[in-house]
Amino acid sequence: MSSILQSSMTECHPASVPDFTPVQQLRDLQLRRLRSVVARTWQHVELFRSRMDELGITPDDIRSLEDIAKLPFTKKTDLRDTYPFGLFASPMKDIVRLHASSGTTGKPIVVSYTQEDLNVWTSVLVRALAGCGLHRGDIIQVAYGYGLFTGGLGAHYGAEALGATVVPSSGGHADRQIMLMRDFGVTAMCCTPTYFLHLIDRAAELGIDMKKLPLRAGVFGAEPWTESIRQHIESGSNIEAFDIYGLSEIIGPGVGCECQRHTGLHIFEDHFYPEIIDPDTGAPLPDGCEGELVLTTLSKQAMPMIRYRTRDITTILPGQCECGRTLRRIGRIGRRSDDMLIIRGVNVFPSQIETALLQTEGTLPHYQILLTRVQGLDQLEVQVEVTPEMFNDKIGALQELHQKLQGSLDRVLGIRVRVSLVEANSIERSEGKAKRVIDRRTS
């Protein structure tokens, strides 16, 4: 077991957890690890070495943390092009786990871990869960999918190493999830935020009041969610909702997580070095500027990632968190640079639609964006569920809500979209990541 894991497993006392390392000490550690990971990747990964050659640089050119900007980026297409094992830096005999994430085109991307990588992954999850106020004695239900997806197993081992009792329910079977939550006295839930919303609704249908369960925290991630969704979750269940971030290419869940201050997500910087770049030019941006998050794994053995372009749009928040952690924070990830829809020439982000919808009273946090093409022209329809009271009320109330939504979407998006108000529970629920956009356009 790594010493980091051991120290993380003790009580969450500032002196014992790497989250509180003095900044200069952290930067020194990052530089040492950066130089070492660059040298290792250069030695073992052909694609990386050839890109360094093209740029005329060698690992010796990395002398400061700022020198990271000299290094080439890695992109998702690099993982696809070298499918399945082309970016591995360790021999297969040292690799103890593979995970994969489905891509939009055919083959998945494959990621690998040595035992040491798994220990690091567990240690960051321990730190994430401890930062959410969880500890030994908690009963944590993990309803992220177990399997090739990193969510289930990642959260599982972290919760176990924390000393909590783990209920590995995996995704799906809402009624059974609720029964386990109630009968086992579950105190914390790990799943996607949209799946938890579904569980709140389903519990109400079953006559179970979530607010009366011992549940006190939820650690939600794997998909973008907004403050409005947090409010719906917290008011529907009386729990404290935390945002956890991660991606398979870097490790899985546990790259960053909110602490109890809820002012951004702390990145576990001793293992994952964050940068923000301009997504169009690739130029590094200063703290406080919004751009694409780029991550470098500082300690990964099996499959190090150098300057991986996540496509996730966020900012590195300036200043230190009041919790005392020295780890830098990113703002919550509301969108990806590649989820932008272009409708009749106008850029539209699903997160803008979500915010406009959920700020209006009478709507439920379940919606779908439907794209079609009529006579060569793109049409965007937003279907949103409305509360049963609203749906059963006089027609005038529905019309008024419709007008309000139409007005705010027109204003926010700058184009005319169609709004359809639909009955509660009519939009299909997902057990994992919600599918918000249905594209029926044929070119």
Question: Binding residues for ligand DLL, per CB under 6 A?
Answer: 101, 144, 150-151, 221-224, 243-248, 252-253, 310, 312, 333, 336
Q: How far is the CB of 27 from ligand DLL (least distance, A)?
A: 26
DSSP string, 92-148: GGGEEEEEEE--SSSSPEEEEEEHHHHHHHHHHHHHHHHHTT--TT-EEEE-SPPSS
For ligand DLL, give the closer residue by CB, 120 or 386: 120
Q: Chain-centre distance of CA 397, in angstroms?
A: 37
> Among residues 341 and 397, whose Cβ is nearest to ligand DLL?
341
Nearer to ligand DLL, 362 or 432 (CB): 432
C-beta closer to ligand DLL: residue 244 or 386 = 244
Amino acid at 77: T
Closer residue to ligand DLL in complex, CB, 233/333: 333
Residues comprising the chain, all counted: 443
Of 221 and 350, nearer to ligand DLL (C-beta) is: 221
Least distance to ligand DLL, CB of residue 118, Å: 15
Nearer to ligand DLL, 59 or 264 (CB): 264
Whether residue 323 contacts residue 268, with contact meaning beta carbons closer than 8 Å, is answered with: no
Reference 221, options 266, 175, 257, 275; nearest CA is 257
Nearer to ligand DLL, 247 or 277 (CB): 247
Backbone angles phi, psi at 313, to 5 degrees: -100, 125
Q: How far is the CB of 309 from ligand DLL (least distance, A)?
A: 10
Min separation Cβ 245 and ligand DLL, Å = 4
When the beta carbons of 223 and 410 are compared against ligand DLL, the nearer one is 223
Q: How far is the CB of 186 from ligand DLL (least distance, A)?
A: 18
Min separation Cβ 128 and ligand DLL, Å: 9
Q: What's the rounded Cα separation, in Å, for the pair 309 and 175?
A: 39
Beta carbons of 315 and 289 less than 8 angstroms apart: yes
Q: Residue 264, Cβ neighbours under 10 Å: how many?
A: 21
Shortest reach from residue 327's CB to ligand DLL, in Å = 16
User: Dmax of the chain from CA atoms?
Assistant: 73
State in angstroms the smallest separation of the CB of 370 from ligand DLL. Answer: 22
CB of 163 to ligand DLL, least distance (A): 21
| Shortest distance in whole angstroms from residue 94 CB to ligand DLL | 23
**Environment class of 199 (CB within 10 Å of its CB; exposed 0-12, middle 13-18, buried 19+):** buried
- Nearer residue to ligand DLL within complex by CB, 250 or 405: 250
Count of C-beta atoms within a 10 Å radius of residue 360: 16
* Residue 405 and residue 357 in contact, taking contact as beta carbons nearer than 8 Å: yes
Q: Which residue is nearest to ligand DLL (CB)?
A: 221
Q: Please state, as a whole number, how many other Cβ atoms lie within 10 Å of the Cβ of residue 11.
A: 9
Q: How far is CA 168 from CA 189, 195, 255, 268, 381, in A?
A: 11, 16, 21, 25, 38
Query: Minimal CA–CA distance to 290: which of 310, 314, 274?
Result: 314
Token pair 């703002």 in the structure block, residue: 331
